[in-house]
Amino acid sequence: MSRWLDPALSPGERADALLAELTLDEKVAQLGSAWPGNPEVSGNVAPMQDVFARGGVPFEQVRADGIGHLTRVFGTAPVSVVDGVARLVALQREIVSETRLGIPAIVHEECLTGFTTLGATVYPTALAWAATFDPGLVERMATAIAEDLRAVGVHQGLSPVLDVVRDYRWGRVEETLGEDPYLVGTLGTAYVRGLEKTGIIATLKHFAGYSASRGARNHAPVSIGPRELRDVILPPFERAIRDGGARSVMNAYVDLDGVPAAASKQLLTGILRDEWGFEGVVVSDYWAIAFLKSMHHTADSAGAAGALALAAGIDVELPDSLCYGKELAGLVRAGEVPERLVDRAARRLLRQKAELGLLDPGWVPDAAPVDLDSPRNRAIAREIAEKSVVLLANDGQLPLAARKVAVVGPCADDPLAFMGCYSYPNHVLPRHPGLGIGVTAPSFVEALRAEIADAGIRAHQGCPVRDEDRSGFAAAAAAAADAEVCVAVVGDRAGLFGHGTSGEGCDAPDLRLPGLQDELLEVLLATGTPVVIVVVSGRPYALGRYADRAAALIQAFMPGEEGGGALAGVLTGRITPSGRLPVQIPRHHGGSPGTYLSAPLGRNSEGISNLDPTPLFPFGHGLSYTTFDYTELDLSPREVATDGRLCISVTVHNTGERAGEETVQLYLHDVRAQVTRPVLELAGFTRVALEPGRRARVTFTLHADRTAFTGLDLRRIVEPGTVEVLVGRSAADLPCTGSFDLTGPVRETGRDRVLDTPVTVVRLPG
């Protein structure tokens, strides 16, 4: 038996043994991928998919020398779980039986809002996970997704997205976990744990800087400095690798200060591997290597593009083998590309195959049909949806007591409004209209009618999401005028590359509601009937013009197939709202809005600039149907060495008449530093469930490393000085404040720096 087949050896030893048996062509083939069936589909789910598909070659030619990855066997065209499993097993058997050494492929799929395939549960978008501020719940969801993927023979999921939001106009805001690196890192790491502990390889996207593109345009250049990169963009990736155990990273499409991420040795080798010690596999975003030639113009051939990416540190090309193929092998034979670079990447990929059991003797495809929209899945989706709804404002109209209700708006009776651009119903099924949406998902109107069956509910679209059609205004206004209350459900329809108002390639020129929806709201408000505005969207929209006129404002970030019931439950009071904003809600629609994580000059500067960036609703904001008080802040000790830690405690009291959940948030402010620092920075959070009249003592254990930043010389340091502590319910509502002093020398933090803030909750008697 060949040594590489021996399961008693370590994965690294088996990879080395197999590598020694491979020819150059076979090694290069392991660095590539195949997308069977892609040339036959119409429409794009990846940028310029149709262009690249025209040059597709038959699968038997692609896999002649072996193959590294199989791309989206389930997620490309509609296929039942039974047929998908059969197709996958057949492809793997062909690879094993028709290649010299019979090395199976790693199978990857998208899984951002659940397994992206026909009939699978559509969970809320990542921005909705973020609104829960609940890492345990996110991990449970990821575990359920991973179990479904693994059951049908998939090995790798292309999630989570760890891009930190920098501009709300960017189309992919819905895919992110918000605008704070600690929130993104905490929830992203929880998602990674759920996949990895179940045996699915998690893939961190998009490394790095994608969300900071100029003008919020998809694939636009990124021109941030090294300090913003290291203090804002990179920390979630570092934490998901170190604390979550992520085994794969995907590059970003962008160029960072003129260097495409796909060709950046500084990013993909210097930071990722040399600084952080990452030992997994770097995969390219779809066609990112080919873009080095066609879009970035830093290579003059496919082989040259492959050489650049390989040297930078990309190990596997997805979704097809365009640049890691015969041309690259020719450059190696000509001595223009060192074969050791091919060996380096191939060894990483083969080691991963050994870890997955794909190199075990007698391996056969292990897959079986399962219920991809099981009651367990739907229960998790429902819990996330319910916990993610954010009550922004309420003049007392909610919970809804009226029994004569007008429900108006383009998102009111369309369940697709609840689903993100990477959900199968919005990602693939628009090309197959005869199949419907593939899952059971009641619209808001249907859910509200079920919730209050004795009410008279009239529903009108009013206007489309983005088309300029006012023909429905009159009927909508008449229904509102005749009702006790009007619920206006407005927002987005997710899509791809301009076919939606939110999603990949659906960037916004400003933060007005799409189409004529602002006009529709004005028409409804003019009737004099109280209007509850419900925004179902993938990004925050400017709502300042309605702040003093709406009876209530609710924000939902595409809450998935169970979103209708979650929203109806919050409006009627069956559910006490507990969602919190992972992004701010702007007051004004224009300009390029900044996030809460800004230095002093990023805040309002009255008398210096006439533009006030203060949001309508701050980061972390969210109301409840009960009330909570914060008291008895204690810091111990108040002097902490630059390598020490302290405890920060506060008492939270439910002072209302209903049970509820409060999200307790800890912020820090570095009073004086050698570089400008954020006015506020989230350092810890936890959800606390309390019955009426009950109290809890919440304690954060803060290590000095959590105050670290990138100093003048670009070293990450903990600097002595005073740090203010602020605890409360949002970045603008922090009733408990104090401070502590960091003492001792400036200390440089290393690879082992503390990245999280543990929290304990003790329920108090009485």
CA atoms within 13 A on the CB side of 552: 25
Q: Which of 717, 611, 29, 695 is nearest to 350 (CA)?
A: 29
545 CB burial (10 A radius; 0-12, 13-18, 19+): middle
The secondary structure of the chain in percent helix, strand, coil, rounded to multiples of 5, reads 35, 20, 45
46 CB burial (10 A radius; 0-12, 13-18, 19+): buried
The verdict on whether 285 is a catalytic residue reads yes
Mode of pairing for the β-strands spanning 255-256 and 390-394:
unpaired
DSSP-derived letter for residue 161 is B
| C-alpha torsion 606→609→613→614, nearest 10 | 0
Cα separation, 266 vs 342, in Å, equals 19
Cα separation, 145 vs 116, in Å, equals 10
The active-site residue, picked from 219, 460, 588, 621, is: 219
The active-site residue, picked from 167, 285, 414, 756, is: 285
Q: What is the largest CA-CA distance in the chain?
A: 82
539 CB burial (10 A radius; 0-12, 13-18, 19+): buried
Sign of the torsion formed by the C-alpha atoms of 715, 719, 724 and 728: positive
Sign of the torsion formed by the C-alpha atoms of 508, 681, 128 and 729: negative
CB 141 within 8 A of CB 198: no
Q: Which of 88, 216, 82 is nearest to 154 (CA)?
A: 88
Cα separation, 740 vs 706, in Å, equals 13
Angle 361-367-369 (CA atoms, 0-180°, nearest 5)? 165
Cα separation, 282 vs 224, in Å, equals 23
Three-state DSSP state, 694: coil
Task: List beta partners, residue 667.
Answer: 682, 726
Cα separation, 562 vs 567, in Å, equals 9
DSSP-derived letter for residue 128 is H
Supply the Cα-derived Rg of the chain in whole angstroms: 26
611 CB burial (10 A radius; 0-12, 13-18, 19+): exposed
Cis preceding-peptide flag for 319 (omega within 30 of 0): yes
Task: Indicate the helix (H) or strand (E) that contains 150.
Answer: helix 135-151
**Looking at the annotation, which residues are catalytic?**
219, 285
